[in-house]
Each structure stands twice: as structure tokens, then as C-alpha cells.
Chain A
């Protein structure tokens, strides 16, 4: 197995200490930090997403794999400062909407987006439209990812989109929505830019939205 293969496997298996050790080893060998993202972290988390979609991986496996990926990115990020590749794919403000505390799904999406090279501004759970608007402005975000797990809180997604429009930021950001009760037609009806039916779909969607 090549070093890159070993690193990918350590992430997929959720072995954070191994992933960390191999990352340090790679750096000592002179491998550029910027190369490790596209060759290790992104494909490893894509594989995790694939297995999750097949129900082969479940929440615990996805969370520990994401933790292992984070062990690598924590080492790599500070080294990327002056590198051209340090410019992230995009900046995502993510949270669960007002009234909703169910954030396991949001956490998985944010970690997978982070592994895919996005800069994440995670506002946590139960976040008001005003705070989301403020974060978009402050971080100059180009994506907002909203999650809701209740039919009664899902309606607050609409308030966020209206808030962004009122603040004159709607043109600047794409809004993606997800969560158990959310559907494609709901996303369209509130004027969101996309709907991710699961975490891997959310990553694909985020990539296509920033590319558009």
C-alpha cells in the first residue's frame, strides 16, 4: 500500500491517531500539504459518503471517520497559509434553524464539506435568521446550508432566505437546505437554490452551487 492509500484507509476506518501520524510522516517526506487534500482527504471522505449512502456506514462510523479527517486537516491548515491552494473552495455558513436542536445531521454535513475543502462557519443549533445574515456578511460567505428536522421548524428556513434578501445579500449567497422533512419541492417553494437529501448529496450540491 502506498502512503496515500494508507492515509485514506486510516480515515475511512476512523483511526484518528494513525491518520495523524501518517500525515506527519508525509510532511517529513516532503510531500506538499496542498497535495494531501485532493489525494487523500477528499477521496477518503467521498468514499465514506458513498458507504453512508449504501447504509454500509452509519452515524458512528461517519463521525469517527470525520474525526480522523479532522486530525489530518488540523495539521495541514496552518501550513497552507501562503499557498495558493489554501484558498478554500468556498465559505459555508451552516446551522440548524431557529427552534431546532437536532444537529447530528448538520454536524456530519459540515464535517464532510470541510473535508471537501470548504471553509466552514458552523453557527451551531437553534440559530435566528438575524445571526445567519450577520455571519454571511462578516465572513463574506458564498453558501448557506440550513438543516431542520421538524416540520414545525422547517418553516424558519423561509425566514432566513427572506432575511438574506432584505439585507441585500441574496445575490451573493446560494442557499441549500436539508433534513428529514425537507423535500425538493419544499426547497423550490421557499426559493432555496438546492436540496441535499443526505450528506453526500449535500457535498455534491455544494460543489455544483459554487461552480455555477
Chain B
């Protein structure tokens, strides 16, 4: 058989040039460049769209369903539905992710040897190599989760794992990828691999299962409870990692439902369980996670907020990357925008979206129902970036889900919003979002001086666990017993609280 003909593909604006055989799926080529496929490359969303400037790629039914005739005419395609049939020049809609690594100081008990802490996120991975004697970080590596090409969110990844019996392949993929990050860190820091004593991983329940090779089927449907949420321990040989055979590798236990050890680590970091005052930890993402409580006990839940905070399903939404409007403020009745990377505005990322809607409410361009006033159809934030009516609706769904989850958890504790003295916002989005805007749209109903961005609490908690000793004696074990998981979907009131919380608060309420 003759070798397949090769073609050249140029990716703009990153100016990357690749060569690949005819028939190569664009998905494979683009994934390596950091392009994400939110629906897992099934042609169900528009997240991977690219614009073909030179060359030809086929149009199929899935693309006709998702793209307008005009978009198709202008060269827009869904990358996941195309393969290489000739030389191409395409423009990408996505850029590399900005990943939050953690460099905050922490308290520790020195131990001999080296340790590795890993925050295994659905989208991104962060790993740190630490000197356990000094607590110093010797190296950091971040990467996009290699499983993401099989589904950007946890549900599509579960579906992929179940549908084709792909669980072993997914587990193998992530184990190899993390091992590669560890190898890179060892190499760059000139550390001795044999001195690694302890590896601690944290992640949500699905990431936990997919790393540990546990059946995800129970997580695919109501009541979303898996029987295998406990601490998982491995030896290097189990994972095919070339480490000291004595090294302990631990994936910390999940809290229940989709709430995983990343949240447990967050509670460890923020010390919610040590204070008499009621505190909360909120991680704003596609699955929003919330923990509320104090030394008497804590409750946690996850709530399906949808992808609006990540800029997905927003007409001109994008990730927090070059060209994204990340802040919007009102000065003298006019909008002032901050664009990332000192570039021309191209879209809105999550923090910009929250700001824009808050500004719209202040300027009375948007009514508290969420409707544009005066029959307006869209609102220009900064040319060419516009906010549409449906964008506001997406944000309402997201903030309504978080606000309803928060309210129901507080009720479980017999408390009200006024009893919460401190709220920590975890994760990258929590770091960038304006607290005032979050309050204005009713996402968080607390005075802003009681709200604090807390950074990557998952990674920091994983590091704390490195110093909390082997096996079941670690403080996270006791902590886990103090946190009760609440299944919001089983709460009869959830739907009503959610619908009631879709509107935006009145201005007087927010100022008062």
C-alpha cells in the first residue's frame, strides 16, 4: 500500500505549521495545539469552530445543524467533523488556557524526601514537586487534561468511558500524562526520582474514578452516587510509574456525588472546619461546588451551573485569553473595558460577562427580570463585542444554580445568608471575578469585604495532605467525616428556589 499523501496545515493566529497525512481528523491535529472539544468532538456544540481561509474541508449534516448558512459560506466549520483533504489555512477560535498554579505559603511539618501534589482537573492539570524537608516547591508543570479530547465536561467523558468500554484506556491515558509531568519536573529540578516518597492527587469524583480505573456508570444517572468514593492507594508499579517501590501514591477520598477531593482539599486549606463562625467555599465552574459550615459540621453539594462562567454558550464568549474582555466598569455612564493581552477585543470571558451584566443592570439597560429594556436585542460592550439577550439568560441559569445550591445548604444548617461571615472563592474564575459584580447579579449575596478569592485551594490542600502522614491517619480523614454531602436534585425545594432565584436583585437590595 502506498503511504497516504501528506498535506500542510497552517493555524492562525498562532502561526503554527503542521504536516499530516490525508484523512487525519482535524480534532487530533488541533487537540495537540491546546484546542478544546467541549462536547467531546461529537458535533453537538460549536466550541471547536474554525474558519477556513485557504483550502477545502467537507460540510456534513452535523455542521449544517450547528452552523448557519451564512457561517458555512464564510468558511466556518466544526473542526471535530472535518479531516484533512488538502493544504489548509485555518483560524482558531480558541487559545491556550491560563492555568492557576499555587505559590502561597503554608504551614508544614518537615519530613525527609520529596513529594508530588497533583490537582487533576477536568480541563487542566497542575503538578508540583516539593522538597518535604523545606516545603519548597522545586518544579511546577501544568497541562490540559489529555482525556479532554473525549469530552470537555464530566458527563460527556463518563459517556465516552461507558459507551465503548473505554475506561481502561482513559485511566491509562491520565496515568501516563501525570507520570510524564513528574518526569519533566524531576528532570528540570535535577532532583533524584528515587527520593519521591509521597504523591497526593486530588480531583472531582469523575477524575478520581477515571484515574483509579473505577466504574463511572453509577455517576451517569440519578442518584449519581458511586460506591467507590474512598481513599485509593497505589504503589508505583500499579501505575507503571518508575518510582521508588516504597513510595505511597494516594488519591484523596471524594465527599459524595460529584464533589471530590479537590473540594475536601479546599476545606483543608481554608480551615472552614476549625472556625466557630459559619464560612463557605465556592468553586465556580460547569459543576459549581459549594461547602458551608463551621466546627460543628459542614454540608457540601455540587450544582449544574452550565458552562457560562467559562465563556461557553455565550454568543461572543471565550476563555480568559488574549483578546478577552475580562473587566467592564461604568465611568460617567460609559463602559470602560479591560482586554487581556493588550489586544483588540474579541469576546467576553466569564469575569467580563458578569461585569457586563452588572453594568447593564446599573445603567438600566437590563431589567431585573433579565430582559433588555426598551426592546433592545443586543448591547455593544466594546466593538465588535456584543452582549445578547440569550447570553444574559445563560448567565441567569448559571448564577441561579449556584445561588439556589447555597441557599439550600444554608437551610440544612438552619442558617441564613446573614450568618455567613466569610466566603472563599476557589479556582481561576474565583480569582478574576469582581466581587461587587458577583453581588450585583445575585451570584453571591454577601458584602464584598466578607468574600475572598482563595486561589487554587485544591492544589494547596493536596500539599497539606503530603505533610499529614501516611494512610488513614491524615487530618483529611477526620475532616471528611465532618462533611455531609447533600444531593440537591433530591431536594424537593430545589426547583422552586432555583426558579425564584433566576431574576437579578433590585439595586436597593444590593446597596443596602
Distance (whole angstroms) from the CB of B495 to the closest CB of chain A: 6
Asked if A99 and B220 sit within 8 Å, CB to CB, the answer is yes
Nearest CB on A from B436, distance (A): 24
Contacts of A184 in B (CB 8 A): 65
Is A54 part of the binding interface, using a Cβ–Cβ cutoff of 8 Å?
yes
- Main DSSP-derived SS at the B contact region: helix
Taking CB as reference atom, which chain B residue is nearest A186? B44
With an 8 A cutoff between CB atoms, is A121 at the interface?
no
Which residues A83-112 have CB closer than 8 A to chain B? Answer: 98-104
Q: Which of A152, A181, A185 has the most chain B CB within a 10 Å cutoff?
A: A152
| Contact code string B253-286 (vs A, CB < 8 Å = 1, else 0) | 0000000000000000000000000000000000
Q: Which residues of B207-246 are within 8 A (CB) of A?
A: 220-222
Contact residues in A for B502 (Cβ distance below 8 Å)? 58-60
Minimum CB–CB distance for A153 against chain B, Å: 6
Cβ of A55 within 8 Å of any chain B Cβ, yes or no, is: yes
Q: How far does the alpha carbon of A126 sit from the alpha carbon of B62 in the complex, in Å?
A: 29
Least Cβ–Cβ distance between B407 and chain A, in angstroms: 16
Which A residues lie within 8 Å of B220 (CB)? Answer: 99, 150, 152-153
Q: Chain A interface: which of B91-99, B112-120, B129-137, B388-396? A: B388-396
Contact with B along A117-129 (1 / 0, CB 8 A): 0000000001000
Q: Is the CB of B495 within 8 A of A151?
A: no
Q: Cβ of A98 and Cβ of B390 under 8 Å apart?
A: no
Contacting pair A63 B65 (CB below 8 A): no
Choice from A56, A103, A181 contacting B495 with Cβ under 8 Å: A103
Cβ of B158 within 8 Å of any chain A Cβ, yes or no, is yes
- Shortest CB-to-CB span from A80 to chain B, Å, is 30
A1 to chain B, nearest CB (A): 21
Considering the chains assembled together, what is the distance between the CA atoms of A185 and B490 in angstroms?
A: 32
Which residues in A have their C-beta under 8 angstroms from that of B371?
Answer: 56, 58
| Size band of the interface chain A makes with B | 20 to 34
Which A residues touch B221, using CB under 8 A?
A: 98-100, 150, 152-153
- Docked Cα-Cα span, A151 to B162, in Å, equals 12
* B389/A60 in contact, CB under 8 A: no
Residues of B close to A61: CB separation below 8 A: 369
Query: Is residue A183 contacting chain B, with contact meaning CB distance below 8 A?
Result: yes
Q: Which residues of A contact B389 (CB under 8 A)?
A: 54-56
Complex CA distance for A152 and B388, rounded to whole angstroms: 30
Chain A residues near B396 (CB, 8 Å)? 58
Residues of chain A within 8 A of B499, CB atoms compared = 59-60, 63, 104
Q: Which of chain A's residues have a CB closer than 8 A to the CB of B62?
A: 185
Q: Given the complex, which residues of A lie within 8 Å of B166, measured CB to CB?
A: none
Please measure, in the bound complex, the distance between the C-alpha atom of A99 and the C-alpha atom of B162, giving whole angstroms: 15
Interface size class of B (residues with CB under 8 A): 20 to 34
Given the complex, which residues of A lie within 8 Å of B70, measured CB to CB?
Answer: none
Q: Chain B contacts of A153 at CB under 8 A?
A: 220-221
Chain A residues contacting B369 (CB-CB under 8 Å) are 58, 60-61
Contact: A55 with B390, CB < 8 Å?
Answer: yes
Residues in A with CB closer than 8 Å to B2 are none
**Is there a chain A Cβ closer than 8 Å to B156's Cβ?**
yes
Q: Which residues of B contact A60 (CB under 8 A)?
A: 369, 499-500, 502-503
Q: Which chain B residues in 449-501 approach chain A with CB under 8 Å?
A: 489-490, 495, 498-500
B61 within 8 A of A: yes
A153-B500 Cα distance, complex, nearest whole Å: 27
A101 CB contacts on chain B under 8 angstroms: 222, 489-490
Q: Given A56-B371, A58-B396, A99-B222, A152 and B155 touching (CB < 8 A)?
A: yes
Contact of A152 among B158, B370, B390 (CB under 8 A): B158
> Which B378-409 residues have a C-beta within 8 angstroms of A?
388-390, 393, 396
CB distance from B471 to the nearest CB of A (A): 34
Chain B residues in 8 Å Cβ range of A59: 499, 502
**A99-B223 Cα distance, complex, nearest whole Å:** 7
Known: A100-B222, A183-B65. A58 touches B162 (CB 8 A): no
Q: Which residue of A lies closest to B45 (CB)?
A: A181
What 0/1 pattern do residues 289 to 333 of B give for CB contact below 8 A with A? 000000000000000000000000000000000000000000000
Could you say which of B61, B162, B221, B490 has the most chain A C-beta atoms within 10 Å of its C-beta?
A: B221
| Interface residue B22 (Cβ < 8 Å from any Cβ of A) | no
Binding site for A on B (CB under 8 A): 44, 61-62, 65, 155-156, 158-159, 162, 220-222, 369-371, 388-390, 393, 396, 489-490, 495, 498-500, 502-503
Residues of A within 8 A of B (CB): 54-56, 58-61, 63, 98-104, 126, 150-153, 181, 183-185
Query: Can you identify 24 A-B contacts, CB atoms within 8 angstroms?
Result: A54-B389, A55-B390, A58-B369, A58-B370, A60-B499, A60-B502, A61-B369, A99-B221, A100-B221, A101-B222, A101-B489, A101-B490, A104-B495, A126-B222, A150-B155, A151-B44, A151-B155, A152-B155, A152-B159, A152-B221, A153-B220, A183-B44, A183-B65, A185-B62
State the 8 A-B residue pairs at the shortest beta-carbon distance, nearest first.
Answer: A99-B221, A152-B220, A55-B389, A101-B489, A55-B390, A151-B159, A152-B159, A101-B222
